Structure 1
Protein backbone atom coordinates (compact mmCIF):
# COMPACT_ATOMS: atom_id res chain seq x y z
CA UNK A 1 0.00 0.00 0.00
CA UNK A 2 2.89 2.31 0.85
CA UNK A 3 4.49 1.70 -2.55
CA UNK A 4 1.21 2.52 -4.29
CA UNK A 5 0.97 5.76 -2.32
CA UNK A 6 4.53 6.69 -3.24
CA UNK A 7 3.81 5.97 -6.88
CA UNK A 8 0.77 8.30 -6.89
CA UNK A 9 2.79 10.99 -5.11
CA UNK A 10 5.55 10.71 -7.71
CA UNK A 11 3.02 10.96 -10.55
CA UNK A 12 1.53 14.17 -9.15
CA UNK A 13 4.98 15.57 -8.44
CA UNK A 14 6.11 14.88 -11.99
CA UNK A 15 2.95 16.51 -13.36
CA UNK A 16 3.53 19.57 -11.17
CA UNK A 17 7.17 19.81 -12.25
CA UNK A 18 6.19 19.43 -15.91
CA UNK A 19 3.59 22.19 -15.61
CA UNK A 20 6.06 24.45 -13.82
CA UNK A 21 8.67 23.85 -16.53
CA UNK A 22 6.11 24.51 -19.26
CA UNK A 23 5.13 27.78 -17.56
CA UNK A 24 8.77 28.88 -17.29
CA UNK A 25 9.38 28.07 -20.96
CA UNK A 26 6.22 29.94 -21.95
CA UNK A 27 7.32 33.04 -20.02
CA UNK A 28 10.80 32.86 -21.57
CA UNK A 29 9.25 32.64 -25.03
CA UNK A 30 6.90 35.51 -24.13
CA UNK A 31 9.95 37.67 -23.42
CA UNK A 32 11.49 36.66 -26.76
CA UNK A 33 8.45 37.09 -29.04
CA UNK A 34 8.42 40.94 -28.76
CA UNK A 35 11.71 40.88 -30.71
CA UNK A 36 10.25 38.79 -33.56
CA UNK A 37 9.00 41.41 -36.00
CA UNK A 38 6.36 40.17 -38.44
CA UNK A 39 6.12 42.03 -41.77
CA UNK A 40 2.58 41.44 -43.04
CA UNK A 41 1.95 41.96 -46.77
CA UNK A 42 -1.66 42.89 -47.53
CA UNK A 43 -3.54 43.95 -50.64
CA UNK A 44 -6.22 46.62 -50.18
CA UNK A 45 -8.83 47.51 -52.78
CA UNK A 46 -9.98 51.13 -52.88
CA UNK A 47 -12.82 52.37 -55.11
CA UNK A 48 -11.85 55.05 -57.65
CA UNK A 49 -8.16 54.72 -56.84
CA UNK A 50 -6.17 57.03 -59.18
CA UNK A 51 -4.16 55.17 -61.79
CA UNK A 52 -0.87 56.53 -60.46
CA UNK A 53 -1.63 54.94 -57.06
CA UNK A 54 -2.18 51.46 -58.50
CA UNK A 55 0.37 49.10 -56.96
CA UNK A 56 1.82 51.73 -54.61
CA UNK A 57 2.67 50.74 -51.02
CA UNK A 58 1.67 52.28 -47.70
CA UNK A 59 3.39 51.18 -44.48
CA UNK A 60 1.48 51.06 -41.17
CA UNK A 61 3.06 51.00 -37.71
CA UNK A 62 1.46 51.33 -34.26
CA UNK A 63 1.95 51.27 -30.48
CA UNK A 64 5.63 51.83 -29.73
CA UNK A 65 4.90 52.18 -25.97
CA UNK A 66 8.40 53.55 -25.39
CA UNK A 67 9.16 53.98 -21.70
CA UNK A 68 7.56 50.79 -20.43
CA UNK A 69 9.90 48.52 -18.46
CA UNK A 70 11.71 46.15 -20.84
CA UNK A 71 10.12 47.89 -23.80
CA UNK A 72 11.25 46.67 -27.22
CA UNK A 73 12.63 49.85 -28.74
CA UNK A 74 14.99 47.73 -30.85
CA UNK A 75 12.00 46.18 -32.63
CA UNK A 76 10.70 49.65 -33.50
CA UNK A 77 14.13 50.43 -34.94
CA UNK A 78 14.03 47.21 -36.97
CA UNK A 79 10.61 48.14 -38.35
CA UNK A 80 11.80 51.64 -39.28
CA UNK A 81 14.83 50.15 -41.06
CA UNK A 82 12.51 47.85 -43.03
CA UNK A 83 10.31 50.80 -44.01
CA UNK A 84 13.29 52.84 -45.22
CA UNK A 85 14.44 49.89 -47.35
CA UNK A 86 10.95 49.43 -48.82
CA UNK A 87 10.56 53.17 -49.51
CA UNK A 88 6.72 53.20 -49.57
CA UNK A 89 4.70 56.13 -50.87
CA UNK A 90 3.66 57.00 -47.31
CA UNK A 91 3.86 55.79 -43.71
CA UNK A 92 0.89 55.84 -41.34
CA UNK A 93 1.61 55.90 -37.58
CA UNK A 94 -1.30 54.94 -35.35
CA UNK A 95 -0.41 56.39 -31.94
CA UNK A 96 0.80 55.35 -28.47
CA UNK A 97 4.39 56.36 -29.16
CA UNK A 98 5.12 56.66 -25.43
CA UNK A 99 3.93 54.74 -22.38
CA UNK A 100 3.62 57.01 -19.32
CA UNK A 101 4.04 60.69 -20.20
CA UNK A 102 2.91 61.84 -16.75
CA UNK A 103 6.20 60.53 -15.31
CA UNK A 104 8.84 61.01 -17.98
CA UNK A 105 7.33 62.61 -21.03
CA UNK A 106 10.39 64.53 -22.24
CA UNK A 107 12.63 61.46 -22.04
CA UNK A 108 10.10 59.18 -23.74
CA UNK A 109 9.29 61.70 -26.46
CA UNK A 110 13.00 62.13 -27.20
CA UNK A 111 13.41 58.37 -27.55
CA UNK A 112 10.37 58.11 -29.85
CA UNK A 113 11.70 60.89 -32.07
CA UNK A 114 15.13 59.25 -32.10
CA UNK A 115 13.78 55.97 -33.53
CA UNK A 116 11.67 57.85 -36.10
CA UNK A 117 14.57 60.02 -37.29
CA UNK A 118 15.57 57.71 -40.19
CA UNK A 119 12.16 58.28 -41.82
CA UNK A 120 12.84 62.00 -41.91
CA UNK A 121 16.34 61.46 -43.25
CA UNK A 122 14.91 59.21 -45.99
CA UNK A 123 12.32 61.90 -46.81
CA UNK A 124 9.46 59.40 -46.69
CA UNK A 125 6.13 61.21 -46.09
CA UNK A 126 4.71 60.27 -42.68
CA UNK A 127 1.21 60.92 -41.31
CA UNK A 128 0.13 60.17 -37.77
CA UNK A 129 -2.61 60.17 -35.15
CA UNK A 130 -2.28 60.21 -31.37
CA UNK A 131 -3.27 57.35 -29.04
CA UNK A 132 -4.55 57.18 -25.48
CA UNK A 133 -1.07 56.82 -23.93
CA UNK A 134 0.00 60.01 -25.71
CA UNK A 135 -2.73 61.70 -23.65
CA UNK A 136 -1.54 59.98 -20.45
CA UNK A 137 -4.48 57.56 -20.47
CA UNK A 138 -3.90 53.98 -19.38
CA UNK A 139 -7.61 53.33 -18.82
CA UNK A 140 -10.75 54.33 -20.62
CA UNK A 141 -12.26 56.50 -17.86
CA UNK A 142 -9.06 58.41 -16.98
CA UNK A 143 -8.42 62.14 -17.25
CA UNK A 144 -6.72 63.19 -20.50
CA UNK A 145 -3.56 65.31 -20.26
CA UNK A 146 -3.76 67.68 -23.27
CA UNK A 147 -0.36 69.15 -22.47
CA UNK A 148 1.26 65.71 -22.86
CA UNK A 149 -0.47 65.19 -26.19
CA UNK A 150 0.61 68.65 -27.35
CA UNK A 151 4.23 67.86 -26.41
CA UNK A 152 4.07 64.70 -28.49
CA UNK A 153 2.39 66.50 -31.37
CA UNK A 154 5.02 69.26 -31.43
CA UNK A 155 7.86 66.76 -31.41
CA UNK A 156 6.39 64.78 -34.30
CA UNK A 157 5.69 67.90 -36.33
CA UNK A 158 9.26 69.10 -35.75
CA UNK A 159 10.28 65.90 -37.56
CA UNK A 160 7.87 66.93 -40.38
CA UNK A 161 5.40 64.20 -39.46
CA UNK A 162 1.91 65.56 -40.05
CA UNK A 163 -0.68 64.88 -37.38
CA UNK A 164 -4.18 64.33 -38.78
CA UNK A 165 -6.73 65.10 -36.07
CA UNK A 166 -10.22 64.44 -37.49
CA UNK A 167 -9.05 65.82 -40.80
CA UNK A 168 -7.97 64.68 -44.25
CA UNK A 169 -5.29 65.57 -46.78
CA UNK A 170 -4.98 64.65 -50.46
CA UNK A 171 -1.77 62.94 -51.55
CA UNK A 172 -0.07 62.36 -54.86
CA UNK A 173 1.54 58.98 -55.57
CA UNK A 174 4.77 60.12 -53.89
CA UNK A 175 2.93 60.83 -50.65
CA UNK A 176 3.12 64.62 -50.87
CA UNK A 177 0.13 66.78 -49.93
CA UNK A 178 -1.70 68.25 -52.91
CA UNK A 179 -3.30 71.71 -52.94
CA UNK A 180 -6.94 71.79 -51.91
CA UNK A 181 -9.25 70.88 -54.78
CA UNK A 182 -6.80 68.65 -56.64
CA UNK A 183 -7.60 64.97 -57.04
CA UNK A 184 -5.53 62.22 -55.46
CA UNK A 185 -5.78 59.75 -52.58
CA UNK A 186 -7.28 61.11 -49.38
CA UNK A 187 -5.59 60.11 -46.12
CA UNK A 188 -7.69 60.92 -43.05
CA UNK A 189 -6.87 60.63 -39.35
CA UNK A 190 -9.24 60.25 -36.41
CA UNK A 191 -8.56 61.56 -32.88
CA UNK A 192 -8.10 59.48 -29.73
CA UNK A 193 -11.28 57.71 -28.62
CA UNK A 194 -10.33 57.47 -24.93
CA UNK A 195 -9.58 61.20 -24.95
CA UNK A 196 -13.13 61.68 -26.31
CA UNK A 197 -11.62 63.26 -29.41
CA UNK A 198 -12.66 60.91 -32.23
CA UNK A 199 -14.95 62.64 -34.74
CA UNK A 200 -15.11 60.71 -38.02
CA UNK A 201 -17.78 63.05 -39.37
CA UNK A 202 -15.32 65.96 -39.22
CA UNK A 203 -12.77 64.04 -41.24
CA UNK A 204 -15.41 62.98 -43.77
CA UNK A 205 -16.76 66.50 -44.22
CA UNK A 206 -13.97 67.56 -46.60
CA UNK A 207 -13.79 64.34 -48.63
CA UNK A 208 -15.90 64.25 -51.83
CA UNK A 209 -18.43 61.43 -51.85
CA UNK A 210 -16.72 59.34 -54.56
CA UNK A 211 -13.11 60.18 -53.68
CA UNK A 212 -10.67 57.36 -52.84
CA UNK A 213 -9.69 57.38 -49.18
CA UNK A 214 -7.78 55.62 -46.39
CA UNK A 215 -8.67 56.20 -42.74
CA UNK A 216 -6.28 55.83 -39.85
CA UNK A 217 -7.18 55.75 -36.16
CA UNK A 218 -5.71 54.49 -32.93
CA UNK A 219 -8.67 52.68 -31.37
CA UNK A 220 -10.56 50.16 -33.55
CA UNK A 221 -13.82 51.10 -31.81
CA UNK A 222 -13.80 54.47 -33.59
CA UNK A 223 -14.56 52.49 -36.76
CA UNK A 224 -18.15 51.81 -35.70
CA UNK A 225 -18.95 55.52 -36.13
CA UNK A 226 -18.46 55.49 -39.91
CA UNK A 227 -21.56 55.47 -42.15
CA UNK A 228 -21.88 52.84 -44.87
CA UNK A 229 -19.41 53.00 -47.77
CA UNK A 230 -17.40 55.74 -46.06
CA UNK A 231 -14.26 53.76 -45.20
CA UNK A 232 -13.31 51.07 -47.75
CA UNK A 233 -9.92 50.87 -46.00
CA UNK A 234 -9.37 51.82 -42.36
CA UNK A 235 -6.43 50.89 -40.14
CA UNK A 236 -6.17 50.87 -36.35
CA UNK A 237 -3.90 49.62 -33.56
CA UNK A 238 -4.33 49.82 -29.76
CA UNK A 239 -5.02 46.17 -28.89
CA UNK A 240 -1.54 44.64 -29.47
CA UNK A 241 -2.99 41.58 -31.18
CA UNK A 242 -4.38 40.58 -27.79
CA UNK A 243 -0.76 40.58 -26.50
CA UNK A 244 -1.19 37.11 -24.95
CA UNK A 245 -3.63 35.00 -26.92
CA UNK A 246 -4.74 31.47 -27.71
CA UNK A 247 -4.38 30.55 -31.42
CA UNK A 248 -7.73 30.72 -33.20
CA UNK A 249 -9.53 32.20 -30.17
CA UNK A 250 -9.06 36.01 -30.23
CA UNK A 251 -11.88 36.46 -27.71
CA UNK A 252 -9.70 34.65 -25.16
CA UNK A 253 -6.75 37.02 -25.44
CA UNK A 254 -5.39 38.81 -22.38
CA UNK A 255 -6.44 42.19 -23.78
CA UNK A 256 -9.98 40.98 -24.56
CA UNK A 257 -10.47 39.42 -21.13
CA UNK A 258 -9.24 42.52 -19.25
CA UNK A 259 -10.99 45.17 -21.36
CA UNK A 260 -14.18 47.01 -20.42
CA UNK A 261 -15.08 47.59 -24.09
CA UNK A 262 -15.38 45.45 -27.22
CA UNK A 263 -11.96 44.36 -28.47
CA UNK A 264 -10.80 43.79 -32.06
CA UNK A 265 -7.27 42.49 -32.05
CA UNK A 266 -5.68 41.33 -35.29
CA UNK A 267 -5.90 41.60 -39.07
CA UNK A 268 -9.05 42.10 -41.12
CA UNK A 269 -12.09 42.32 -38.84
CA UNK A 270 -14.97 40.60 -40.62
CA UNK A 271 -18.57 41.55 -39.88
CA UNK A 272 -17.66 44.76 -38.05
CA UNK A 273 -18.85 48.22 -39.02
CA UNK A 274 -21.36 49.43 -41.58
CA UNK A 275 -21.66 47.80 -45.04
CA UNK A 276 -18.95 48.82 -47.50
CA UNK A 277 -16.42 49.57 -44.75
CA UNK A 278 -13.36 47.44 -43.99
CA UNK A 279 -11.02 47.58 -40.99
CA UNK A 280 -7.53 46.15 -40.51
CA UNK A 281 -6.07 46.06 -36.97
CA UNK A 282 -2.28 46.18 -36.69
CA UNK A 283 -0.76 44.28 -33.72
CA UNK A 284 1.65 47.12 -32.98
CA UNK A 285 5.14 46.88 -31.52
CA UNK A 286 4.95 47.60 -27.78
CA UNK A 287 3.11 46.16 -24.80
CA UNK A 288 1.08 47.14 -21.75
CA UNK A 289 1.42 46.04 -18.11
CA UNK A 290 3.85 43.17 -18.77
CA UNK A 291 6.67 43.02 -21.36
CA UNK A 292 5.39 39.78 -22.86
CA UNK A 293 3.77 38.77 -26.13
CA UNK A 294 2.53 35.26 -26.87
CA UNK A 295 0.92 34.45 -30.23
CA UNK A 296 0.86 38.18 -30.99
CA UNK A 297 4.12 39.02 -32.76
CA UNK A 298 4.87 42.72 -33.26
CA UNK A 299 3.76 43.83 -36.70
CA UNK A 300 4.68 46.12 -39.54
CA UNK A 301 1.97 46.09 -42.22
CA UNK A 302 2.71 46.89 -45.87
CA UNK A 303 -0.44 47.54 -47.91
CA UNK A 304 -0.33 47.37 -51.70
CA UNK A 305 -3.17 49.50 -53.07
CA UNK A 306 -5.34 48.36 -55.96
CA UNK A 307 -8.45 49.75 -57.60
CA UNK A 308 -11.73 48.02 -56.71
CA UNK A 309 -15.39 48.38 -57.60
Structure 2
Protein backbone atom coordinates (compact mmCIF):
# COMPACT_ATOMS: atom_id res chain seq x y z
CA UNK A 1 0.00 0.00 0.00
CA UNK A 2 1.26 3.48 -0.85
CA UNK A 3 0.47 6.18 1.74
CA UNK A 4 0.61 9.70 0.31
CA UNK A 5 1.50 12.89 2.15
CA UNK A 6 2.02 16.53 1.27
CA UNK A 7 4.59 18.56 3.19
CA UNK A 8 4.79 22.33 3.57
CA UNK A 9 1.61 22.85 1.57
CA UNK A 10 1.53 26.55 2.44
CA UNK A 11 4.32 27.17 -0.11
CA UNK A 12 1.86 27.81 -2.92
CA UNK A 13 4.41 29.56 -5.15
CA UNK A 14 6.23 26.27 -5.73
CA UNK A 15 4.23 24.20 -8.22
CA UNK A 16 6.93 21.57 -8.57
CA UNK A 17 7.05 19.44 -5.43
CA UNK A 18 10.04 17.34 -4.41
CA UNK A 19 8.96 13.69 -4.40
CA UNK A 20 10.29 11.27 -1.80
CA UNK A 21 9.72 7.53 -1.40
CA UNK A 22 10.50 6.01 2.00
CA UNK A 23 11.22 2.28 2.21
CA UNK A 24 11.47 1.07 5.78
CA UNK A 25 11.83 -2.29 7.48
CA UNK A 26 11.92 -4.31 4.28
CA UNK A 27 13.33 -7.27 6.23
CA UNK A 28 14.07 -8.96 2.93
CA UNK A 29 14.23 -12.73 3.50
CA UNK A 30 14.82 -13.60 -0.14
CA UNK A 31 14.34 -12.01 -3.51
CA UNK A 32 10.90 -13.09 -4.73
CA UNK A 33 7.89 -11.82 -6.69
CA UNK A 34 6.83 -9.60 -3.81
CA UNK A 35 10.22 -7.89 -3.72
CA UNK A 36 9.99 -7.36 -7.46
CA UNK A 37 6.50 -5.83 -7.16
CA UNK A 38 7.73 -3.44 -4.47
CA UNK A 39 10.58 -2.29 -6.72
CA UNK A 40 8.19 -1.84 -9.64
CA UNK A 41 5.81 0.21 -7.47
CA UNK A 42 8.66 2.47 -6.35
CA UNK A 43 9.67 3.08 -9.96
CA UNK A 44 6.07 3.89 -10.93
CA UNK A 45 5.99 6.62 -8.30
CA UNK A 46 8.92 8.27 -10.11
CA UNK A 47 10.44 9.85 -6.98
CA UNK A 48 13.24 12.39 -6.92
CA UNK A 49 14.92 10.42 -4.14
CA UNK A 50 14.41 7.08 -2.37
CA UNK A 51 15.13 6.82 1.35
CA UNK A 52 15.86 3.53 3.15
CA UNK A 53 15.22 4.00 6.86
CA UNK A 54 16.79 0.80 8.19
CA UNK A 55 16.21 -2.91 8.70
CA UNK A 56 16.48 -3.70 5.00
CA UNK A 57 17.70 -7.21 5.82
CA UNK A 58 17.87 -9.58 8.81
CA UNK A 59 20.85 -11.78 7.91
CA UNK A 60 24.16 -11.42 6.07
CA UNK A 61 23.00 -14.17 3.70
CA UNK A 62 20.23 -11.88 2.47
CA UNK A 63 22.64 -9.30 1.04
CA UNK A 64 22.67 -10.90 -2.41
CA UNK A 65 18.87 -10.73 -2.60
CA UNK A 66 18.93 -7.13 -1.44
CA UNK A 67 21.55 -6.37 -4.08
CA UNK A 68 19.16 -7.77 -6.69
CA UNK A 69 16.29 -5.70 -5.27
CA UNK A 70 18.35 -2.51 -5.51
CA UNK A 71 19.30 -3.35 -9.08
CA UNK A 72 15.63 -3.08 -10.11
CA UNK A 73 15.28 0.50 -8.90
CA UNK A 74 15.96 3.32 -11.34
CA UNK A 75 19.70 3.85 -11.05
CA UNK A 76 19.39 7.52 -12.02
CA UNK A 77 17.33 8.19 -8.89
CA UNK A 78 19.45 9.32 -5.95
CA UNK A 79 19.06 7.16 -2.86
CA UNK A 80 20.05 7.56 0.78
CA UNK A 81 20.05 4.93 3.51
CA UNK A 82 20.57 4.59 7.24
CA UNK A 83 21.27 1.67 9.53
CA UNK A 84 18.62 -0.17 11.52
CA UNK A 85 19.02 -2.44 14.52
CA UNK A 86 18.85 -5.62 12.44
CA UNK A 87 21.78 -4.70 10.22
CA UNK A 88 23.82 -4.53 13.44
CA UNK A 89 22.34 -7.64 15.02
CA UNK A 90 23.01 -9.61 11.82
CA UNK A 91 26.66 -8.55 11.85
CA UNK A 92 26.49 -7.01 8.38
CA UNK A 93 29.87 -5.71 7.29
CA UNK A 94 29.50 -1.92 7.02
CA UNK A 95 32.03 -1.62 4.20
CA UNK A 96 30.30 -4.29 2.14
CA UNK A 97 26.88 -2.77 2.71
CA UNK A 98 28.20 0.69 1.82
CA UNK A 99 29.66 -0.70 -1.41
CA UNK A 100 26.42 -2.44 -2.39
CA UNK A 101 24.42 0.73 -1.80
CA UNK A 102 26.96 2.82 -3.73
CA UNK A 103 26.67 0.51 -6.76
CA UNK A 104 23.05 1.63 -7.12
CA UNK A 105 23.52 5.37 -6.55
CA UNK A 106 22.79 5.15 -2.83
CA UNK A 107 24.76 6.79 0.00
CA UNK A 108 24.72 5.08 3.38
CA UNK A 109 24.65 7.83 6.02
CA UNK A 110 25.94 6.87 9.47
CA UNK A 111 25.91 10.06 11.54
CA UNK A 112 26.43 12.01 8.36
CA UNK A 113 24.63 14.69 6.39
CA UNK A 114 24.53 15.37 2.68
CA UNK A 115 23.32 18.36 0.74
CA UNK A 116 21.07 17.20 -2.08
CA UNK A 117 20.58 19.62 -4.95
CA UNK A 118 17.23 19.82 -6.72
CA UNK A 119 17.26 22.52 -9.36
CA UNK A 120 17.42 25.84 -7.53
CA UNK A 121 16.62 24.18 -4.21
CA UNK A 122 18.74 22.34 -1.69
CA UNK A 123 17.79 19.73 0.90
CA UNK A 124 19.99 18.86 3.84
CA UNK A 125 19.54 15.15 4.62
CA UNK A 126 20.88 13.97 7.96
CA UNK A 127 21.21 10.22 8.50
CA UNK A 128 21.57 9.17 12.15
CA UNK A 129 22.93 5.90 13.45
CA UNK A 130 20.50 3.55 15.21
CA UNK A 131 19.95 3.47 18.95
CA UNK A 132 21.66 0.07 19.25
CA UNK A 133 24.84 1.88 18.16
CA UNK A 134 25.68 5.57 18.73
CA UNK A 135 23.43 8.15 17.07
CA UNK A 136 25.21 11.50 17.08
CA UNK A 137 23.32 14.50 15.77
CA UNK A 138 26.15 16.93 16.52
CA UNK A 139 28.68 14.91 14.56
CA UNK A 140 26.16 14.53 11.74
CA UNK A 141 25.95 18.30 11.25
CA UNK A 142 29.62 19.17 11.67
CA UNK A 143 30.89 21.56 8.98
CA UNK A 144 27.45 22.26 7.51
CA UNK A 145 25.35 25.40 7.58
CA UNK A 146 21.65 25.32 8.42
CA UNK A 147 19.37 24.98 5.39
CA UNK A 148 15.76 25.97 4.90
CA UNK A 149 14.89 22.41 3.84
CA UNK A 150 16.23 19.88 6.33
CA UNK A 151 15.23 16.25 6.81
CA UNK A 152 16.35 13.88 9.60
CA UNK A 153 16.42 10.11 9.17
CA UNK A 154 16.49 7.92 12.29
CA UNK A 155 15.41 4.28 12.29
CA UNK A 156 14.09 4.13 15.86
CA UNK A 157 11.56 6.88 16.63
CA UNK A 158 12.32 6.84 20.38
CA UNK A 159 15.49 8.77 19.54
CA UNK A 160 13.26 11.83 19.14
CA UNK A 161 12.59 11.77 22.89
CA UNK A 162 16.20 11.23 23.95
CA UNK A 163 17.92 14.34 22.62
CA UNK A 164 20.60 15.74 24.92
CA UNK A 165 20.62 19.44 25.78
CA UNK A 166 23.41 19.97 23.23
CA UNK A 167 21.38 18.17 20.56
CA UNK A 168 18.31 20.24 21.37
CA UNK A 169 20.45 23.35 20.94
CA UNK A 170 21.50 22.07 17.51
CA UNK A 171 17.85 21.46 16.60
CA UNK A 172 17.05 25.02 17.61
CA UNK A 173 19.92 26.24 15.43
CA UNK A 174 19.28 24.06 12.35
CA UNK A 175 15.48 23.83 12.59
CA UNK A 176 14.94 20.54 10.70
CA UNK A 177 11.33 20.37 9.53
CA UNK A 178 10.74 16.63 9.35
CA UNK A 179 12.05 13.36 10.76
CA UNK A 180 11.35 9.99 9.13
CA UNK A 181 11.54 6.75 11.10
CA UNK A 182 10.33 3.16 10.99
CA UNK A 183 11.19 0.26 13.31
CA UNK A 184 7.78 -0.22 14.93
CA UNK A 185 6.07 -2.07 12.03
CA UNK A 186 2.97 -0.27 13.28
CA UNK A 187 2.96 -2.90 16.01
CA UNK A 188 2.93 -5.70 13.36
CA UNK A 189 0.01 -7.21 15.27
CA UNK A 190 -2.85 -4.80 15.94
CA UNK A 191 -6.19 -5.53 17.54
CA UNK A 192 -8.89 -2.91 16.96
CA UNK A 193 -6.16 -0.30 16.59
CA UNK A 194 -4.26 -1.40 19.70
CA UNK A 195 -0.66 -2.54 19.16
CA UNK A 196 0.40 -4.34 22.36
CA UNK A 197 3.85 -5.44 21.17
CA UNK A 198 6.48 -3.11 19.77
CA UNK A 199 10.26 -3.50 19.74
CA UNK A 200 12.53 -1.62 22.15
CA UNK A 201 13.38 1.72 20.59
CA UNK A 202 9.74 2.38 19.65
CA UNK A 203 9.09 4.52 22.70
CA UNK A 204 5.58 5.96 22.65
CA UNK A 205 5.32 5.71 18.87
CA UNK A 206 3.28 3.31 16.73
CA UNK A 207 2.81 4.74 13.23
CA UNK A 208 1.84 7.84 11.32
CA UNK A 209 2.40 11.52 12.11
CA UNK A 210 3.50 12.97 15.44
CA UNK A 211 3.59 16.75 15.25
CA UNK A 212 4.28 17.57 18.89
CA UNK A 213 7.78 18.54 19.91
CA UNK A 214 10.56 20.26 17.99
CA UNK A 215 10.34 18.15 14.80
CA UNK A 216 7.34 16.72 12.98
CA UNK A 217 7.87 12.94 12.90
CA UNK A 218 6.51 10.33 10.51
CA UNK A 219 6.76 6.67 11.59
CA UNK A 220 6.37 4.23 8.71
CA UNK A 221 4.62 0.90 9.24
CA UNK A 222 7.29 -0.58 6.99
CA UNK A 223 7.05 -3.48 4.59
CA UNK A 224 8.35 -6.61 6.25
CA UNK A 225 8.11 -8.69 9.41
CA UNK A 226 10.56 -9.76 12.08
CA UNK A 227 10.48 -12.30 14.92
CA UNK A 228 6.88 -13.34 14.13
CA UNK A 229 6.38 -14.19 10.43
CA UNK A 230 2.99 -12.49 10.17
CA UNK A 231 1.21 -9.14 10.17
CA UNK A 232 -2.29 -8.83 11.54
CA UNK A 233 -4.34 -5.64 11.34
CA UNK A 234 -1.33 -3.64 10.11
CA UNK A 235 -1.05 -2.98 6.37
CA UNK A 236 2.52 -2.70 5.00
CA UNK A 237 3.36 0.64 3.44
CA UNK A 238 5.55 2.48 0.99
CA UNK A 239 5.52 6.11 2.15
CA UNK A 240 5.32 8.78 -0.57
CA UNK A 241 5.86 12.45 0.23
CA UNK A 242 5.43 15.54 -1.93
CA UNK A 243 7.47 18.28 -0.31
CA UNK A 244 6.94 21.89 -1.36
CA UNK A 245 10.40 23.27 -0.73
CA UNK A 246 11.56 26.61 0.63
CA UNK A 247 13.97 28.55 -1.55
CA UNK A 248 17.48 28.46 -0.13
CA UNK A 249 21.05 29.13 -1.13
CA UNK A 250 23.03 25.96 -1.79
CA UNK A 251 26.11 25.85 0.41
CA UNK A 252 28.14 23.16 2.11
CA UNK A 253 30.51 24.83 4.56
CA UNK A 254 30.55 27.35 7.37
- State the SS of the aligned residue for 2:73: helix
1:150 aligned onto 2:95: yes
In the alignment, which residue of structure 1 is the partner of 2:220?
Answer: 282
**TM superposition score normalised by structure 1:** 0.68
Contact persistence 2:23–2:238 (CA under 8 A): yes
RMSD: 2.7
Contact persistence 2:124–2:149 (CA under 8 A): yes
CA apart distance, 1:189: 0.7
CA apart distance, 1:205: 3.2
1:303 aligned onto 2:241: yes
Contact persistence 2:14–2:245 (CA under 8 A): no
Q: Of 50, 53, 59, which residue of structure 2 is paired with 1:94? A: 53
Q: Report the Cα distance in structure 1 between the residues aligned to 2:31 and 2:2, rounded to whole angstroms.
A: 16
Contact persistence 2:25–2:182 (CA under 8 A): yes
Q: Report the Cα distance in structure 2 between the residues aligned to 1:53 and 1:203, rounded to whole angstroms.
A: 31
CA apart distance, 1:152: 2.1
- State the SS of the aligned residue for 1:134: helix
Q: Which has the higher helix share?
A: 1
Gaps of 5+ in 1: 1-37, 138-144, 175-181
Contact persistence 2:184–2:202 (CA under 8 A): no
CA apart distance, 1:192: 1.6
Equivalenced residues, count: 237
1:134 aligned onto 2:87: yes
Q: Report the Cα distance in structure 2 between the residues aligned to 1:245 and 1:203, rounded to whole angstroms.
A: 35
**TM superposition score normalised by structure 2:** 0.82
In the alignment, which residue of structure 2 is the partner of 1:254?
Answer: 197
Q: Report the Cα distance in structure 2 between the residues aligned to 1:284 and 1:232, rounded to whole angstroms.
A: 21
Q: Report the Cα distance in structure 2 between the residues aligned to 1:85 and 1:293, rounded to whole angstroms.
A: 25
Q: Is the radius of gyration larger for structure 1 or structure 2?
A: 1
Gaps of 5+ in 2: 247-254
In the alignment, which residue of structure 2 is the partner of 1:58?
Answer: 20
1:222 aligned onto 2:159: yes
In the alignment, which residue of structure 2 is the partner of 1:16?
Answer: none
In the alignment, which residue of structure 1 is the partner of 2:3?
Answer: 40
